[in-house]
């Protein structure tokens, strides 16, 4: 997960609490480099509204149990999910998550979205390191905002 600078010093429990009543919007690929940046090249595919509290107790395998007002929502556009942005009830961006099949933070029951078709979250995990698990060799090898540049020897 990539956390917005306003929530960077928050604990995982504080982030979960901030999401109560907020939204989780699923977008097509092209996640912004930071949760502080606007979404500008991705299509909005579906949006979930978190209940209060936003998460139940973690399951035995360590995955989180999100609590949504509606467990399945209708897709609003055609596309392949790539990331999700979570915002508070008053619209503050909290963080971005990777979405899709494979080793992603959020897995959906569907591989792609079509207008009017149901979208459902089947697995939700927090990856505090912020990378894309399937491409750690690329995404986690480049400097990120707030981290020092590597030194050339």
Strands annotated E in the chain: 2-3, 23-28, 44-55, 66-68, 72-74, 81-87, 93-98, 106-108, 118-124
Using omega within 30 degrees of 0 as the cis cutoff, is the peptide bond preceding 2 cis? no
Enter the pTM of the model: 0.82
Q: Is 106 helix (H, G, I), strand (E, B) or coil?
A: strand
CA distance 136 to 153: 23
Number of H helices, E strands in the chain: 2, 9
Digit-by-digit pLDDT tens for the chain (153 residues) are 899 999 999 999 999 999 999 999 999 987 888 899 999 888 999 999 999 999 988 777 767 889 999 999 999 999 999 999 999 999 999 999 999 877 788 999 999 999 999 999 998 888 876 555 555 554 445 555 555 555 665
How far does Cα 96 stand from its chain's mean position? 4
Beta strands 93-98 and 44-55, pairing class: unpaired
How far does Cα 97 stand from its chain's mean position? 2
């Amino acid at each position: 997960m990539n956390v917005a600078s306003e929530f960077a010093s928050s604990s995982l429990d504080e982030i979960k609490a901030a999401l109560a009543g907020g939204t989780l919007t699923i977008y097509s690929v092209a996640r912004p480099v930071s949760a502080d940046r606007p979404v500008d090249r991705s299509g909005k595919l579906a949006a979930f509204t978190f209940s209060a509290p936003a998460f139940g107790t973690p399951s035995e395998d360590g995955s989180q149990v999100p609590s949504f007002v509606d467990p399945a929502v209708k897709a609003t556009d055609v596309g392949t999910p790539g990331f999700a942005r979570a915002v508070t009830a008053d619209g503050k961006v909290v963080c971005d998550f990777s979405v899709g099949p494979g080793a992603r933070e959020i897995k959906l029951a569907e591989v792609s979205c079509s207008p009017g078709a149901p979208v459902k979250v089947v697995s939700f995990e927090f990856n505090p390191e912020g990378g894309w698990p399937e491409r750690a060799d690329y995404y986690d090898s480049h400097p990120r905002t707030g981290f020092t540049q590597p030194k050339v020897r």
